[in-house]
Amino acid sequence: MSGVHYYTGQKFDMQAITRAAQAAGALVGWDLAHAVGNVELQLDEWGVDFAFWCSNKYLCSGPGAIGGAYVNRRHCGRRAAHLKGWWSNRDSTRVEMRSDCDTAEGVDAFRITTPSPILVAMACVSLQILDEAGMQRMLEKQFLLTGFLEALLKRHFSGGGGEAPLRIITPEDPAQRGCQLSILFPAGAAKAHARLQELGLVCDLRAPRVLRVAPSPLYNSFTDVFTLVEVLLKVLKETP
């Protein structure tokens, strides 16, 4: 299941869910596409069996860039059926051109092709910047940045100020979310989304009624958040 739900932005208690599922005899894998670079992850410490993710969201590497995968060390000797390719073979025997794949250990066994050097370079630069910023500092700013967005949305769009009421469907508890707030537009979000794009504000439409807004602490500022809400006020006044 997802570590952070793509639609609502809810962050799940991955450690507790992993323990409960494993206690019932299940292998536990996580889709971390909306979690990596967004929330704290301790896959080894939590005992997760495997995980995978893309890098074009909070890792900022761009669409089509290399993804990532994780396999717990305790599964290194496991030979599960999966797609295999040139890169799935052990480095030490790859050029021997054996008739059967001499499968590498752990997550390396799941590599099937040569990644684009340009896209890998983009991912490397992004990871270097993230490492320099530090995840703890990112989380501290995220708490304030997303909280600021939440406070402004509630102030202006709760229904008491004359504007059309909007509802945040992401959990209020900061421990149950990352950067993202999903905003429900009762009458539909398509027109507002289109107008925001025209004005240079990039959000994501989940048709027909939800707009996903995710201020990233790596490059978004409190001024960006304030500007978004001010422009949204203007857009809703002019959009029937």
In the chain, the percentage of residues whose pLDDT exceeds 90 is 70
Residue environment code for 138-162, b if the CB has 16+ CB neighbours within 10 A, otherwise e = beebbeebbeebbebbeebbeeeee
- At 23 the pLDDT is 98
pLDDT (tens digit, 9 = 90+) per residue, 64-100?
Answer: 788 899 999 998 877 777 888 888 999 999 889 888 8
Q: Which domain holds residue 95?
A: 14-133
Angle at 80 between CA 74 and CA 85, to 5 degrees: 110
Q: What φ, ψ does residue 198 adopt, rounded to 5°? A: -60, -35
- At 163 the pLDDT is 56
Same domain assignment for residues 38 and 145: no
Same domain assignment for residues 87 and 141: no
pLDDT band with cut points at 50, 70 and 90 for residue 230: very high
Report CA-CA distances (Å) from 4 to 20, 114, 151, 155, 177.
18, 29, 21, 26, 7
Assess if residue 188 is contained within a domain.
yes
pLDDT higher at 31 or 238: 31
Same domain assignment for residues 145 and 115: no
Assess if residue 1 is contained within a domain.
no
Same domain assignment for residues 171 and 199: yes
Instruction: List the end-to-end C-alpha distance of the chain, in Å, as a whole number.
Output: 38
Same domain assignment for residues 151 and 220: yes
Same domain assignment for residues 92 and 157: no
Give the end of a domain, one of 89, 115, 133.
133
Report CA-CA distances (Å) from 72 to 16, 26, 29, 52, 113.
17, 14, 10, 12, 22
- At 39 the pLDDT is 96
Same domain assignment for residues 98 and 42: yes
Same domain assignment for residues 25 and 128: yes
- Where residue 234 sits, what CATH number does that domain have? 3.90.1150.10
- Are 199 and 193 in contact by the 8 Å Cβ rule? The answer is no
Same domain assignment for residues 111 and 215: no
pLDDT (tens digit, 9 = 90+) per residue, 154-200?
Answer: 999 976 554 568 999 999 999 999 999 999 999 899 999 999 999 99
Q: Order of strands across the sheet with 181-184? A: 167-168, 181-184, 210-213, 204-206
pLDDT band with cut points at 50, 70 and 90 for residue 117: confident
Q: What φ, ψ does residue 107 adopt, rounded to 5°? A: -70, -25
Same domain assignment for residues 36 and 122: yes
Q: What distance in Å separates the CA atoms of residue 172 and residue 180, rounded to the nearest whole number? A: 11
- At 85 the pLDDT is 84
Same domain assignment for residues 166 and 104: no
pLDDT (tens digit, 9 = 90+) per residue, 30-69?
Answer: 999 999 999 999 999 999 999 999 998 999 887 778 889 9
- At 141 the pLDDT is 97
Give the end of a domain, one of 78, 98, 133.
133
- Are 178 and 142 in contact by the 8 Å Cβ rule? The answer is yes
Same domain assignment for residues 215 and 166: yes
Among 75, 110, 104, 105, which Cα is nearest to 90's?
A: 104
Report the domain count for the chain. Answer: 2
- Lowest mean pLDDT: which of 4-18, 162-176, 218-232? 162-176
Give the end of a domain, one of 133, 165, 182.
133
